[in-house]
Every structure is written in structure tokens, then in C-alpha cells.
Amino acid sequence: MKRHAFTLIELLVVIAIIAILAAILFPVFSQAREAARKSSCLSNSKQFGTAILMYAQDYDEAIVPWFKIREYAGQPLNERFWFGLLHPYIKSTLVPPDAGRTYTVGGQPQGLHRCPSWSLERYMEGVNMPDCYPGEMDAYMPPTQVFAHYGIVFQMATRGGAGTPENPYYHFAGSLCYPPESGGLTRYMPEVKRPAETILIGDGITFLDKGPTYVVISIGCESQKIHQDGANFTFLDGHAKNIKRNPERYLATTVENGQTVYYERYFTFSME
């Protein structure tokens, strides 16, 4: 009886073809999975946008603060930060505090506060990019508690920067619900000149540091590696979109006192 079999060369050719196909397809599958994660995160961001508008409607057009003053003794932090203030409008899961504690220790964000693409490695890669803040977050890491894989901008009474391309103006639209003598400042929607281009919330992190000592909120260039080479952000008109690379380096210009000045397009609410 005559038997047929593969020669060694034929077998090696088949293995080589399979290896080539795998090398082509595996990155495609990985990119498809990341695209799905990015879409899920973007959906979270859009729901934050709806909540921001609903909060403003209920509070005389006020922009939701990143933090508010304690209302009663022992009030958990997850009620006082932005994600707790938006909770009535999105009804997402908050990690409950341990009994008898002010801080929420242990656990990870859940529901809308969790981004499936977020990782500490990606976050730190963004932080340590040359155009961001290399080494600045090392003293706070690793987190004791992560409240959200998102951050929110804080209040600024006056704009910062110098108006140059290297040091553009910036003016965050955040609010802090504290007495004015303690730095409190409430911004209102009508103050925002370009709501469709002004970021309030985005990929980043809200966390309790390794102390635990401080609650740290981070948003901006730090998030530029969360979704491959970009991050998702929520704007003050309620919409959300993905911005590639460092969102702080998208600049716009205007004329002041006869001179052209530069400002951060997405982080300056008071200029147009």
C-alpha cells in the first residue's frame, strides 16, 4: 500500500504561513478589542455630559464642583466629590465606604466610573511623557483607593500662562463648593464662551494616594496614553469625544491689545 505524507519542507511552509497570518491578525484583534473598550469609555463620558447639564439645570446653571464642603460629621468622601454629586443623575455604582471610615479604602471604581482601558501603566506612561509632568506623580503612587478612572478640572479665579506658544494661557472652568475665603468659587454655564470646546471631565484618575494622605485628581496630558494614543473627554455642552495625543497642546489664538496670543483650546473657558 502506498502512503502519502507531508515532506519536511511542506510542513515548514505551512507553519510559516500560519505564523505570518497570526502576526497579521493578532494586532488587528487587539486593536478591535481596544476600539470596543474606547467606545465603552466614550459612552461613560457622554453620560457624564448629560449629568453635568442636569446638575446645572437643578442648581441655577452652576457647573458641578470637583469638591464640596462637609455637610455633616464623618460624611464619606464619595459623597463630597464630583462623582458623588453626579450620582443622583446617573445612578451608577459607588464603592461604599468601610463602616466608621471617612475614606473609602480598598476596592476599585465600578459602573460608569470604571474605564475598561485604564491601567496604571498607561496612566504613568502619559504622565512621564516629555510634554507632560515626568516624575510628578511618583510620590503619590500606588493608589490606596481609586474612586474613578476619570478626573475633573478645578477652579481658577484667574487664568494662568503667558499667552505664548510655549506657555499658552489656560483657565479651567471648574467649581469648588467652599466659602470664598477658603478658595471656594462657583462657575456658571453662561460664563463659558465656548462650551463645545471646553473640557470639564475626562480620562484620568481620582484617587486616594499611598499615604493615605491626599485625594488627587488628575486630567489632561496625563491621560494621553489611555486609549492607544488618545483619551476621551466630556465638554460643557454635554458631548464627548476622543482627542489624540496631548490635549493641552491643541492651541487657539486671539488678539489682545493688538497682539496675537495663544491659549489652550480645550482648557480655557474665558477666551475665544
| pLDDT at residue 210, as a whole number | 87
Q: Find out whether 197 and 272 touch, Cβ atoms under 8 Å.
A: no
5 pLDDT above the threshold of 90: no
Residues 263 and 152: their CA atoms lie apart, in Å, by 19
Residue 46's SS3 state is: helix
pLDDT digits (tens, 9 = 90+) for 105-136: 456 788 899 999 999 999 999 999 999 999 99
Residues 123 and 223: their CA atoms lie apart, in Å, by 6
Q: What is the pTM of this model?
A: 0.85
Start-to-end Cα distance in the chain: 87
